[in-house]
Structure 1
Amino acid sequence: MRIMAFDYGTKRIGIAVSDPLQLIATALTTVHPQDIWSYLKDYLISEQVETFVVGKPLQMDGTDSESAQHVLGFMRRLKREYPTIQVVEVDERFTSKMASSAIAQSGMKKNKRQNKGLVDSVSATLILQTYMDTKGF
């Protein structure tokens, strides 16, 4: 079964997924928040997911950021819509910076590197990798 991670934003949600053996985290896509529920419904028809990992936006001092309320609402709905799938949160404080840095170092052309959707899906991958690392995968 797979693990799916989300970098939730009010404009875009980056999504990453593990392989079925839960060894490798891979960027999947970026969707608009209003499209996430139909996307998940379609995805879960063909793939089994045992855990949803959601990046929790925190301030540098560890307190919730301004966008934390949106993430909490998203997590509540995930739990309501998919009660059999565990929902966990992971500190995402540095994922966007790390994603931007990784993309910049990848040798990609500048116009591709500036694609915010790419940053969000790479951020989701980093969130998933962080979770997998802490679980000892």
Structure 2
Amino acid sequence: MGRILAIDYGTKRCGLAVTDELQIIASGLTTVETKHLLSYLKKYVSFEKVDLFVVGLPKQMNNSASESEVHIQQFLVQLAKAIPNIPVQRVDERFTSKMAFQTMIDSGLKKKQRQNKALVDEISATLILQSYLTSKS
């Protein structure tokens, strides 16, 4: 069994999270500048078996697509061309940034550490992945 890799896509940087090989535990992986994301993913899947990409689906409170969905759709087309053998699943990502920030507070991070947007993105990706794992079981 391979890993599941989650992407919290952003126009500047993307948070990444990954499961263990048994697809039980979601862990933050890293944050990558968006312009380097495809090359990072190609390299990652060349040395790790990945069964699925989980990509956040940003929605407004009224369930309509968020403005960033346009950019995500463009990325998904590029991803399908670059790595066609790994399917993509979308997961509602509403509130993940707020939940990530609260997680940072709850874990006792100092204010300066909580201002690290890259860490927020990585935690958000982990929350997206955990949401997928929970819905799957």
8 Å Cα contact 2:5-2:52 kept in structure 1? yes
1:72 CA displacement: 1.0
| Higher mean C-alpha displacement, 103-112 vs 121-130 | 103-112
- Provide the rounded CA distance (Å) in 1 between the counterparts of 2:48 and 2:14: 19
Runs of 5+ unmatched residues, structure 2: none
Which of 104-113 and 10-19 deviates more? 104-113
What secondary structure sits across from 2:85 in the alignment? Answer: coil
Identity of aligned residues (%): 54
Rounded to whole Å, the distance in 2 between the matches of 1:47 and 1:38 is 14
* 1:31 aligned residue: 32
Give the RMSD, CA atoms, in angstroms: 0.8
SS at match of 1:13: strand
Q: Given the alignment of the two structures, is residue 68 of structure 1 paired with residue 69 of structure 2, yes or no?
A: yes
1:108-127 mapped onto 2 (5 Å cutoff) = 108-127=109-128
Contact 1:78–1:87 (CA under 8 A) maintained in structure 2: no
Aligned partner of 1:9 in structure 2 is 10
TM-score computed with the length of structure 1 as normaliser: 0.96
- The question of 1:130 aligning with 2:131 is answered yes
Partner-residue secondary structure (3-state), 1:66: coil
> What's the TM-score, normalizing by structure 2?
0.96
Cα distance in 2 between the residues matched to 1:27 and 1:12: 14
Please report how far the alpha carbon of residue 52 of structure 1 lies from its aligned counterpart in structure 2 after TM superposition: 0.3
Whether the 8 Å CA contact 2:42–2:82 is kept in 1: the answer is no
Alpha-carbon distance between aligned partners in 2 of 1:7 and 1:32, rounded to the nearest angstrom = 12
Residue 119 of structure 2 aligns with an amino acid whose one-letter code is L
Counterpart position of 2:50: 49
Please name the residue that 2:108 is paired with: 107
Deviating above 3 A after TM superposition, structure 1's stretches of 4 or more consecutive aligned residues are none
1:30 CA drift (Å): 0.5
